Amino acid sequence: MDLEFFTHPVPTSVSSRFGQLVSEWKQQSRFLSSVSQMAMLRPYQRIIGIGPSAVPLILEELKRETDFWFWALETITDENPVSPEDSGFVAKMADAWLAWGRQRGLIS
């Protein structure tokens, strides 16, 4: 996938909308143990719907707090930097995605 689109600054309105959706998603998912149920919640789906502009925001959120952002990242980017042996290990999955984001200049 052409990543040039990902390098443009995120508009403030997208950033504030993202923050609102993250808050709603965390509220609605706090008692769920199924990642697929978490990913199907409307706020999470709306974050995916933001598209490539959400990727740096998701990565920053993942850097701040390890959470289940992998489904959204893979859906939006059509990539998966997580090695098969690290699949299922949330901290290692987060590290792989953060390294991916740093390599592309999306996060520091």
46-92 pLDDT, tens digit each = 999 999 999 999 999 999 999 999 999 999 999 999 999 999 999 99
More confident of the two residues 5 and 25: 25
What pLDDT is stored for residue 10 in this prediction? 61
Kindly list the domain boundaries of the chain, sorted by start residue.
Answer: 12-103
Asked whether the predicted pLDDT for residue 8 surpasses 70, the reply is: no
Spell out the residues 6+ positions from residue 43 whose beta carbon is closer than 8 angstroms to its own. Answer: 21, 22, 24, 25, 28
Q: Which of 32, 103, 22, 104 is nearest to 64 (CA)?
A: 22
Looking at every residue in the chain, the average pLDDT score rounds to 92
**pLDDT recorded at residue 94:** 98
